[in-house]
Structures are given as structure tokens and as C-alpha cells.
Amino acid sequence: MTAKTFPAATILGYPRIGPNRELKKALEAHWSGRLDEDGLLFEARKVQDRTVRRLVQLGLDAADSSIPADFALYDQVLDTTAALGALPSRFADLADSDGGVGTAASFVLARGDGERPPLELTKWFDTNYHYLVPEIGPETCFAAVAHQLAGIVRRQKDRGAVLRPVLVGPVTYLLLAKAEDGAPAGFDPLTRIDDAVAAYVGILGQLAEAGAEWVQLDEPGLSTDAGAALAAPGGLVEQVYRKLAEAPVAAPGRHANGRPALLVTTGYGTAGDPARAGEALAVLAAVGVEAVHADLVRGSLPSAEALRALGGTRFVAGIVDGRNVWRNNLLSSLDVLEDLQAQSGAAVSVGTSTSLLHVPHDVAAESVLPAHLPAWLSFADQKVREAAVLARGLAEGRSSIAAELQNAEAALRSRAKYDGVVSPAVRQRTAALGEADFTRGPAERRAELQQARLGLPVLPTTTIGSFPQTGEVRRARAAAQKGSITEAEYEQFLKEEIARVVALQEELGLDVLVHGEPERNDMVQYFAENFDGFAATGNGWVQSYGSRCTRPSILWGDVSRPAAFTVPWTRYAQSLTRRPLKGMLTGPVTILAWSFVRDDQPLAETANQVALALRDEIADLEAAGTGIVQVDEPALRELLPLRAADQAAYLDWSVRAFRLATSGASDATQIHTHLCYSEFGEVIAAIAALDADVTSIEAARSRLEVVADLAGFGFRRGIGPGVYDIHSPRVPSREEIAGLIETALAAIPVRQLWINPDCGLKTRGYEETAASLRNVVAAAKAARETLAVRA
């Protein structure tokens, strides 16, 4: 039996949180006990139904499998774990009688249950989305228990929609997994592939039975070095998909003993060997996969040879960018699509490069964007339309979409010549940069000058910047925004807040103080609001993990800083204390990583513009008397390219941008940086190359693992490995912190060591923060005394 034809237009996935974060709110109500499970599932079904309706309005067909059933409540990797019943042994008790994992059980995996920490959260490829890491051991059960996904398919079918269920594919699933605790040393989850594949075969049968005609298996793992190696002809990917494709395709309408047709997607780069683009797709086609997808935005076009090798397999061209917000250049996309079709002779469908999970819902829901921006933008809903329009143009000829082509062209043209997209003053500055602009004086000399100026004790104590953002702070900000308090009243409120935070730090006995960042809603958006070339959205929420969402700003033009904006707060805070107080900035790489960035010039160029804007702010901070400036780069590791071959170039421009931002500072000004959210062991050389005088780095949860890497590298500058894990309300005891300081001192020379928390305190409450910092300071003092006795 042959498969039903794949639809001409599709998307790989759609934002799951709801246009007004309905799912987020329902989840949080459920977790706090205000909404029971039935209530939550009712809300989730409302979001699903709305998504299907909306996608039909936007041009997808409800009945032809063009709409993905991609409705994870928390995370799609977690849902695949649930469909496989692949519970780690430490959670084995959560299994239903048939090995299934219900909604409540899946939330225990996601959030822990008091005694057991949750599954680890890690970044999904090179994005700011986080997935829950499967824990696989030699004994992990794999079963076909896709009840929830099958239930969604069945329910939608009853409502007249034939959806295409989505799972993480088996190779990517195991590549993303880690060995569970207690597995033999060196255990590789991929060794369980046969058992996993057997379960996937069963799941495919269950989904066919529920009425699915197509299933989407996502294999973005093939775009990493590890996955690419498996995608060569004769490799693991070929074996796996031969097995999955072996069963006959079920006849539409009669689903006994068959499987749905398979779409295998890639995404986040080129699947397989980049020098042989498309080969991995040909491998999949050869074993009988009915449709394959490639990311044509981040990845390369498949070669003509690979396209011809697709034979009768559908090619889904991921030409609408799933990761950025710019309107598609329909004309050039159509050129590419027509070319692909002509070359391959194969049937081409139009799709997105990745799921639309990474972009907000709808440009039309924006009310605060500057007037020129909306026409240039495309959020998820606009992208669905773009895919549908391109598919029509491909099938019926350019004249059938003449109006759409013309509108897109007009928008692109207006964008290209809009005032501020290119700012001659900014261009002149970047063009005139020379090596001296990236270099400070010798580090040893800087250290002497700074110590003479600051007079700090050994093991200086400090915090990372933010203090608790209480309900009061958030309410005052909202009131100021609404206009229900005056600007002067808001400023007065912030000053009082800063004064309290400074007084608290003095009372605690910290050595280097901060102002606490109460004026900042978000460490990137705050800069976007104060830089030219940047705009903040009103409702542009994007899922970061589970119910957590962020609202990236849009960097649309040349960036510059019209006026000093952090200076008044820092100056005010410093006026309240004789101790040194750090000025606090977000670094250029992090600003880019957590924004939607213009796509019309290299990132390195944009990074330098942001760096110059920060450099201006640092100059003004210095002029106001600030002796220490911290430039946070928590996202330095996040943008690291997936392929080793691309990493050196990235590290080069990102390090240079940081240096451009900071190297205007006088040698007597101490530059700090702060890193968190990732393991930084593999980029230590780049961290050293930042040439910051002091680096604070998240370390408490790994019990200071990074210290060994730093020592091994011979890191020479100031270093503050976090000794207080700020991710939970738990107060670390003085003894515990003392133990971590001992560990650090065993590897790091005492004159280099700083004592600080892992990250900012903004999500914490005051009580636990004060108690914890008291212990931090006490442990540091005790360590100083011990050192003095030993000396």
C-alpha cells in the first residue's frame, strides 16, 4: 500500500504556550494546586483546538497531515521519554501498570518531588530552549506506550482533523540522553538503540491505529558532529530507519498491522557530513522513508546528486526560518524551491527550518513596536502563511502569488533603506577599529594598579549583581509603565530600594558591593530599551523551558548608545558607601544570544556595534568614578556552533567583541565578567582570552568541578567560582561553603580567588538571601584567618 501524499506546505512545530501564555498559566495554576489535572488537560485541549483552527485559517489543511500534533505540556523530549516508558531507575515507581508515564508522573520527572531532583535541563542544540535530559542505563525499559499522543490524534480525528504526530527520532533521542547514575563507567546510551527502535516500531503502530497517516520523527542530532558520523551510508542511521520503514504502510482508513508514512526532519544545520550535503537524506530515502526534511536556513542546500538520489521520496524544504523573526524573502525562496524541484525531479514540499517553537505567535498581537517594524517581521503565524504561499507559488506559478511577492519585496526594500538600519556614524567607528582597540595593558600591571586603588582583602567577597526582585519591585515597575505612578515617584522608589540593598551589603560585610539592579526587568531587554537600533516587544513570548518564557528584543538596525543610562544608578549607589561598588553591564555576546538579531550582516559586525555602545557606557562609568565594571557573558557558551570546525571562528569574534567593549577602560579599572548556565570547561582558553581581571563562574552545583579545569589550564586572573547555589531557596551552611572554599584553594592560588554566589539573586527571597550571604562572608573570613595562621 502506498502512503498518502505528503502535503505541499507544512511547519515542523508551532509555539505550544498559547497566544497569551494560556498553557503557562494553566501549568502554574496546576502546580500550585489551584487547578486539578482535569482542569489542566481541559485548558491544554483548548490550546490544541485553537492551534488547529488557527493553522487552518493560516492556510494549512486540517485533513492532510500538514498540521503537526506537537503539543507537549512541558517538553517534547520528555514526551518522547513518556511515549517510550523510558523511566530512569530512580523514578521506576512512577510507571503505570503497563509501563506508561501519565501526566502527573511526567511532572515529577520535570520538577522532582522533594526527595528526588528532576531530570537535568540542558540547552536544545544552539538555542535558548531547554529540554529534559533522558537518563538511560543498561536496564532502562523501552516500551510502546504512546497513549497520550495517540489520544490527541484520536480526539482530533473525531473533530475532523488528521494531524501528524511528532516524536524525537530514536538516534537523536539517545544522542541527547546521558548515562544514568549507577550505569557502568563509559556506558553509552546509544548501545540501547535496538531496544529503542523496537519500541518506536510499536509506537508507530499505535499512532497508525489512532488514525495518523504520517508521523514526524525529528532527528536534529544528525547536525552535530556525533550524529553526522552516524548518518554516513552504511551507518547506524541507515540501520535504524531500515527497521522503522520495514513494516508496510497502513492503508488510509484501515490501520491494521501497518505503520504511518514517515517524515524525518533534521534542522539546526546540515544533517550528516557538511561536505556532502544531502547525503544523509539520500540514506534515509534509500531505506524507504517517505519524506525527508532539510534546514535550508542554517544548513546547506543538498547537492544535485543527493537530490536525484531521493527518488520517489518527498523533500520538505525548510526554507522559512524557524528561529528568527524576519519576513521571508519570498522571491529568492521561490528561486531556490523551483531550482530544487527542477534538479531533483522529486516532489518538493515547503516547510520551516525548525519548529516555530523559537518565535512568538503573531506580529498582529504587538502594540508597542515602533511603526516601521511590523511590516518587516514574521512571527509564527506569518511564517505559516509564508509556507502556504510559497507552496502555492511552486505549484501554480509565480503569477498565482504575485501580490504576496510584491508585498514581501516592498517590505524588504523599505527595510533596506530605512533610516538607522545603516548608520554612517556607527559604520565609520567600526571601520576605523584597530588592534589597539581590543587590547589593555599587561594584566600584572593592571592587578597592581587596581589593588592600590581598591585595597581589597584576600578572598574578597561580592555578589553577581541583582538582589531579590520582590513583588513590590515588580508592582512599582508595572505601575510606572501604566502611568499610575509618576516617573519621579518610580525613581524615588528605586533609590530607596538601592539604599536598602547597599545598607544590607554593608551590614553583611561584603567587600565589593552592587546596586542590586531593581530598575532592570531583564538583563538584555533593559539594554535594548536604552540602545538605538533595538526594540522590545509587548507580547513576544517564547518558551524557554516548561512554563518559563522569555521575551527577546529585536535588534533591527545599527546599534549605538544615545546617552549614559546605568551611570545615574551606579553613581547614586556608590554615593551611599565607602566600599567599592561595581557598575553592571550585559556583554555583547549575551545581548545577541538573547535577542532576535538582524539577518542582513554577519553577527561579528553586529557584535562589534553592541560592544562599542557598551564601551561608551564604561567610559561614562569611569568618568563618574566607578572603579569596577562587570560585563556579564552568561551566554558565551550558548552560541558556540554545534560543529567543532566552526567553533574557532565563533570564539574569535565573540572574544574580540568582549575585548572591544572592555579594553577602553583604564588599567586601574577592574573589569569583571560573569558566566553561568553552562559547563565552561571546554572553552577555558576563550574565557582566559576575554582578559577580564576577575571572572565569576557558576560552580556550586558541580561542587567546583570547573576549578580543576581552570587549574589545569593555568588560568592566571581573578576567579570567583560560585560557592552558593542560587537556584533553590536552600541556605548553604557556613561549613558547606568553607568546604567549597577549601576545594578552590587546593587548586587556585589564594591571591586569585574571589568568594561569591553562582549567579544573581533576583529570583530569591530576602530572608534566604541574607542568611546565605551571611554564611558566605563568615566562611570567607574564617578562611582568611586560617590562611593568616598558616602563613
Q: How far apart are CA 383 and CA 54, in angstroms?
A: 13
Q: What is the b/e burial string over 292-311, where b = at least 16 CB atoms within 10 angstroms of the residue's CB? A: bbbbbbbbbbbbeebbebbe
Residues 543-572 that bind Zn ion (CB under 5 A): none
584 binds ligand MET (CB under 6 A): yes
Instruction: Find the length of the chain.
Output: 791
- C-alpha distances (whole Å) from 550 to each of 359, 366, 522, 744, 764 are 10, 15, 9, 34, 18
Judged by beta carbon distances under 5 to 8 A according to partner kind, the member of Zn ion, ligand MET, none in contact with residue 465 is: ligand MET
Q: How far is it, in rounded angstroms, from Cα 495 to Cα 501?
A: 10
Q: Does 582 bind ligand MET (CB under 6 A)?
A: no
Please pick, from the candidates 353, 466, 678, 756, the single residue that binds ligand MET as defined by CB under 6 A. 466
Give the whole-angstrom CA distance, residue 351 versus residue 294: 9
Strand duo 595-597 + 582-586: pairing:
unpaired
Catalytic residue from among 130, 515, 674, 727: 727
Grid cell for residue 631 = 560585563
Q: Which of 330, 464, 589, 628 binds ligand MET (CB under 6 A)?
A: 464
Name the minimum Å distance from CB 689 to ligand MET.
20
**Cβ contacts of 380 within 8 Å, gap of 6 or more:** 11, 14, 15, 356, 359, 360, 361, 362
Phi-psi region of 455 (alpha: psi -120 to 50; beta: other; left: phi over 0): left
Contact of 81 with 120, CB cutoff 8 Å: no
Per-residue binding letters, 615-644, with ligand MET (x by CB under 6 A): -----------------x-x----------
| Nearest distance from C-beta of residue 444 to ligand MET, angstroms | 27
> Considering the rule CB under 5 A, would residue 726 count as an interface residue with Zn ion?
no
Residue 22: its H or E element: helix 22-31
- Sole binder of ligand MET in the list 146, 281, 408, 523 (CB under 6 A): 523
Q: Return d(Cα 289, Cα 244) in angstroms, integer.
A: 8
User: Under the criterion CB under 5 A, does residue 634 sit at the interface with Zn ion?
Assistant: yes
Residue (608 or 696) nearer to ligand MET, CB: 696
Under DSSP, the state recorded for 363 is G
Residue 656, binding choice from Zn ion, ligand MET, none, Cβ under 5 to 8 Å by partner class: none
Q: Strand pairing partners for 251?
A: 254
Question: Quick one: what does residue 584 bind among Zn ion, ligand MET, none, with the CB cut-off 5 to 8 Å set by partner type?
Answer: ligand MET
User: Shortest gap between Cβ of 517 and Zn ion (angstroms)?
Assistant: 12
Closest by CA to 586, choosing from 539, 553, 625, 558, is 553
Of 676, 700, 723, 773, which one interacts with Zn ion (CB under 5 A)? Answer: 676
What's the closest the beta carbon of residue 286 comes to ligand MET, in angstroms?
46
Determine if 465 is a binding residue for ligand MET (CB under 6 A): yes
For residues 249 and 759, which CB has a smaller minimum distance to ligand MET in the complex?
759
Smallest distance from ligand MET to CB 474, Å: 15
Helix count (H) and strand count (E) of the chain?
Answer: 27, 21
Instruction: Considering the complex, state which of residue 276 and residue 637 has its C-beta at the smaller distance from Zn ion.
Output: 637
For the chain, the straight-line distance linking the first and the last C-alpha, in angstroms and rounded, comes to: 83
Choosing from 759, 770, 773, 777, the residue that interacts with ligand MET (CB under 6 A) is 759
With helix as H, strand as E and coil as C, how does 428-473 read? HHHHCCCHHHHCCCCHHHHHHHHHHHHCCCCCCEECCCECCCCHHH
Stretch that binds ligand MET, among 187-195, 327-335, 336-344, 459-467 (CB under 6 A): 459-467
One-letter amino acid for residue 39 of the chain? G
Per-residue binder mask for ligand MET (CB under 6 A), 667-706, x = binder: -------x-x------------------------------
Closer CB to ligand MET, residue 502 or residue 523? 523
The beta strand positions in 607-750, using DSSP E, are 628-632, 670-675, 694-697, 718-721
Closer by beta carbon to ligand MET, 86 or else 501: 501
User: Least CB distance from residue 479 to ligand MET, whole Å?
Assistant: 22
Residue 134 C-beta: closest distance to ligand MET, Å? 26
> Which listed option, Zn ion, ligand MET, none, makes contact with residue 700 (CB within 5 to 8 Å by class)?
none
DSSP code, position 750: G
If the CB atoms of residues 429 and 582 are measured against ligand MET, the closer one turns out to be 582
Mark whether 30 is an active-site residue. no
Is 759 a binding residue for Zn ion by CB under 5 A? The answer is yes
List the single partner that 580 binds among Zn ion, ligand MET, none, CB under 5 to 8 Å by kind. none
Give how far Cα 146 sits from Cα of 37, 206, 242, 580, 780, Å.
Answer: 19, 7, 22, 58, 53
Q: Which of Zn ion, ligand MET, none has residue 637 at its interface (CB below 5 to 8 Å by kind)?
A: none
Nearer to ligand MET, 6 or 724 (CB): 724
140 vs 462, which CB is nearer to Zn ion? 462
Report in angstroms how near the CB of residue 589 gets to ligand MET at its nearest: 12
Task: Show Cβ contacts of residue 491 under 8 Å, excluding neighbours closer than 6 positions.
Answer: none
CA dist 113 and 66 (Å) reads 38
Residue reference for cell 558532529:
225
Q: Which is nearer to ligand MET, 377 or 494 (CB)?
A: 494
Residue 573 interacting with ligand MET (CB under 6 A) = no
CB of 535 to ligand MET, least distance (A): 22
User: Binder to ligand MET among 298, 598, 762, 764 (CB under 6 A)?
Assistant: 762
By a kind-dependent CB cut-off of 5 to 8 A, residue 783 interacts, out of ligand MET, Zn ion, none, with none
Residue 340 binds which one of ligand MET, Zn ion, none, with CB within 5 to 8 A depending on kind?
none
SS3 label, residue 123: strand
We find the least distance from the C-beta atom of residue 701 to Zn ion, in angstroms, to be: 13
Determine phi and psi for 750, rounding to 5 degrees: -60, -35
- When CB distances are held under 5 to 8 angstroms depending on the partner's kind, the choice from ligand MET, Zn ion, none that residue 466 binds is ligand MET
147 or 571, CB closer to ligand MET? Answer: 571
Total residues at interface with Zn ion (CB under 5 A): 3
Taking the least distance from each CB to ligand MET, the nearer of 84 and 671 is: 671
- Which one, 206 or 756, has the nearer CB to Zn ion? 756
- Minimum CB distance to Zn ion, residue 634 (Å): 5
DSSP 262-317: EEEE--SS-SS-GGGTTHHHHHHHHTT-SEEEEETTTSPPPPHHHHHHTTT-EEEE
H or E element that contains 39:
helix 37-57
Q: Distance (Å, rounded) from C-alpha 572 to C-alpha 491?
A: 11
**Shortest distance in whole angstroms from residue 38 CB to Zn ion:** 39
Q: Which residues are catalytic?
A: 727
| Chain residues in the site for ligand MET (CB under 6 A) | 464-466, 523, 584, 632, 634, 674, 676, 759-760, 762
User: What residues line the site for Zn ion (CB under 5 A)?
Assistant: 634, 676, 759
